[in-house]
Structure 1
Amino acid sequence: MTPQDIDAICGLVYDLCGIALDSSKDYLIESRLAELVKREGCANYVDFAVRARNSSDNLKRDVVNAITTRETLFFRDKSPFEALMFKAIPELVDEKSKSAYDKRIRIWSAACSTGQEPYSIAMTLMETLPDFRNWNISILATDISDDAIDRASRGLYPPLETSRGLESRYLNKYFTPQDGGHRIKDEVRAMVSFEKVNLLQSFVHLGRFDIVFCRNAIIYFNAEDRRRTYLNLANQVTDNGYLFVGSSESLIDLGPKFQPQHHCKSVFYQPNRQLPDFILANKVGPAVTPATPVVR
């Protein structure tokens, strides 16, 4: 690939989905887009980028589907789901139980990929709350990839995917065998709704959530987009709500409200919870420059 090819594709990918690629990712560009370039009959990647920009939404969708990372598994990293079970959900339930009318729990799984995360959240809720049917629980799962949303909404997973991170007791309890794989049961599926959302665009219309999971997605954004997106996400979290990010992501550079909270070997944030005056009155160390995003 020529420098012109790389620049053209990096610009195209950034404009379509906000992922910040650079010249070190020429191998990734070729491995994920070569078939599309060949299919479209383009002489090079510059020509392909021009065609994609001027094409219908179908080709743009194909580029996003090809370039976005789909690495996910059930109960990925495990500790966030333990913090959800033993910290976030009990505290939310205790708070909401003080009101006879506040029986609603809203959760957002942003960048949900093929659905393993939101379904893991749903199963965690069902395991934690014996009376979950008496609660109005809704989990919104979003992604920028149409293909990922389509797969996630079907809830059908081959054996390789159900064998990664999913304990046999969960498989037996919450899935049914189908078509050589396993399909998530309707009661779990009913908790989750799916929607296409670009995190670089406004998502105020989604409303506020008690819990937001946005893990291992914003690491692919540049520094300015990263900061803006996390601040926008924080605006969607309720006053005592929880924000879970990836294990390699630190938000302390965003200000004193983004003090990491630790539980069950997991880190989460409560950006809208009232902090003690001594924290708000003092700067929390020097600003931390985020690491350069790495796309694998």
Structure 2
Amino acid sequence: MKPDDFDYVAQMLKTRSGLVLTKDKSYLLESRLMPVARKRGFKGLEELVAQLRRRDESLAQDVTEAMTTNESFFFRDMKPFEQFRDVVLPNLLKARASKKSFRIWCAAASSGQEPYSLAIILKEAAAKMPGWRIDIVGTDISREVLQKARAGLYSQFEVQRGLPIQLMVKYFKKKEDQWEIDPSLRAMVQYKEWNLLSDLKALGTFDVIFCRNVLIYFDQATKGKVLENMSRQLTDDGVLYLGGAETVLGISDKFKPIPGQRGVYAVNKPGAPAGAPSLGTGS
């Protein structure tokens, strides 16, 4: 790919999605965009970029989706889900006992494995929360992966990857050459197309936010902006989950690490009630 073509696409992607591509990622750009070029009938990437320069919004959407679609699997890295089940959920049930409701946001839902993993945890704990209303909202910038998430259909490889066999048998049903998630779990998650660079107010307030393995693709300024916006959508005692390679340190003062809970952060709001317990502290 020509250097000026790379620069054009990289700038477009940063503007549209926050994704930062450095010159050494040229191979990634080419490998992700060649299928788009073939699908569109272009002879190569030069023709594709030429069409992008004509402000082809449909093509720009396809290119953005191709570059921002990341793999996902059930109970990815496991530790955050165990921490949610064993620490955050019990504290949520205590802290929200009067209103019997709470909301979870998966900010990069991809093809649905993360929000459905949380739904499974909540389903397994249903006996402890009769009469509770729990909202799980999954958002992503990619329409394609959201369609897959809403369908709740996964390949044999996808259900075997990270999903314990007993849960696969309990919550999935074979449908031709795919596995379909139980309708009751699918009904627990609401999916929305959303760009993290957009205004988040319309999404409402959440008690728990999962934003794992997303910030690593942004530059420092964009990371800070996203974290600041998320802090406004999180309850004062809520928690934020980031990926294992991500941190708020040196990026934003809107969150603070929760001691002993790697990758989990509490809101650092000046207006928060003094001594307010965080849902992630176990207090």
After superposition, give the CA deviation of every residue in 1:146-204 in whole Å (9 maximum; x if it has no partner). 10100011000000000110001111111111122211101111110000000011111
Cα displacement (A) at 1:4: 1.2
Cα displacement (A) at 1:224: 0.4
- AA of the residue aligned to 2:265: Y
Pair 184,246 (structure 1): closer, same or farther in 2 beyond 3 Å: same
Let me know the Cα RMSD of the aligned residues.
Answer: 2.1
Pair 241,274 (structure 1): closer, same or farther in 2 beyond 3 Å: same
After superposition, give the CA deviation of every residue in 1:88-122 in whole Å (9 maximum; x if it has no partner). 1110111111x2xx111110001111000000011
Residue 33 of structure 1 contacts residue 63 of structure 1 at CA under 8 Å; is this kept in 2?
yes
Cα displacement (A) at 1:50: 4.5
After superposition, give the CA deviation of every residue in 1:238-278 in whole Å (9 maximum; x if it has no partner). 11111001011111224555321145x643111146566xx
Mapping of 1:10-49 within 5 angstroms? 10-38=10-38, 39-41=40-42, 44-45=45-46, 48-49=48-49
2:280 counterpart residue number: none
Is it true that 1:83 corresponds to 2:83 in the alignment? yes
Residue 119 of structure 2 contacts residue 185 of structure 2 at CA under 8 Å; is this kept in 1?
yes
In 2, the alpha carbon distance for the partners of 1:275 and 1:250 equals 25
In 2, the alpha carbon distance for the partners of 1:30 and 1:134 equals 51
Pair 204,75 (structure 1): closer, same or farther in 2 beyond 3 Å: same
Residue 115 of structure 1 contacts residue 153 of structure 1 at CA under 8 Å; is this kept in 2?
yes
In 1, the alpha carbon distance for the partners of 2:201 and 2:87 equals 27
Cα displacement (A) at 1:60: 2.0
1:269 counterpart residue number: 265
Residue 68 of structure 1 contacts residue 145 of structure 1 at CA under 8 Å; is this kept in 2?
yes
1:182 counterpart residue number: 179
- AA of the residue aligned to 2:14: Y
Mapping of 1:60-209 within 5 angstroms? 60-97=60-97, 99=98, 102-209=99-206
2:240 counterpart residue number: 243
In 1, the alpha carbon distance for the partners of 2:82 and 2:207 equals 17
* Structure 2 residues not aligned, in runs of 5+: 276-283
Pair 134,54 (structure 1): closer, same or farther in 2 beyond 3 Å: farther
In 2, the alpha carbon distance for the partners of 1:156 and 1:255 equals 38
Percent sequence identity over aligned pairs: 36
What SS does the aligned partner of 1:84 have? helix
- AA of the residue aligned to 2:263: V
Residue 61 of structure 1 contacts residue 146 of structure 1 at CA under 8 Å; is this kept in 2?
no
After superposition, give the CA deviation of every residue in 1:126-160 in whole Å (9 maximum; x if it has no partner). 22341445111110000000101000110000000
Residue 105 of structure 2 contacts residue 208 of structure 2 at CA under 8 Å; is this kept in 1?
yes
TM-score of the superposed pair, with normalisation by structure 1: 0.85
Cα displacement (A) at 1:22: 1.6
Residue 150 of structure 2 contacts residue 191 of structure 2 at CA under 8 Å; is this kept in 1?
yes
* Structure 1 residues not aligned, in runs of 5+: 277-296
In 2, the alpha carbon distance for the partners of 1:274 and 1:267 equals 24
In 2, the alpha carbon distance for the partners of 1:140 and 1:79 equals 21
In 2, the alpha carbon distance for the partners of 1:14 and 1:160 equals 32
In 2, the alpha carbon distance for the partners of 1:123 and 1:274 equals 33
Residue 40 of structure 1 contacts residue 48 of structure 1 at CA under 8 Å; is this kept in 2?
no
Residue 89 of structure 1 contacts residue 128 of structure 1 at CA under 8 Å; is this kept in 2?
no
What SS does the aligned partner of 2:167 have? helix
1:283 counterpart residue number: none
- AA of the residue aligned to 1:166: L
Is it true that 1:234 corresponds to 2:235 in the alignment? no
Residue 157 of structure 1 contacts residue 183 of structure 1 at CA under 8 Å; is this kept in 2?
yes
In 2, the alpha carbon distance for the partners of 1:256 and 1:24 equals 31
Residue 227 of structure 2 contacts residue 254 of structure 2 at CA under 8 Å; is this kept in 1?
no
Cα displacement (A) at 1:222: 0.9
2:281 counterpart residue number: none
Residue 17 of structure 1 contacts residue 198 of structure 1 at CA under 8 Å; is this kept in 2?
yes
What SS does the aligned partner of 1:134 have? coil
Residue 34 of structure 2 contacts residue 44 of structure 2 at CA under 8 Å; is this kept in 1?
no
Pair 172,275 (structure 1): closer, same or farther in 2 beyond 3 Å: farther
Name which of structure 1's ranges 251-260 and 66-75 shifts more when overlaid on structure 2.
251-260
What SS does the aligned partner of 2:250 have? helix
- AA of the residue aligned to 1:267: G
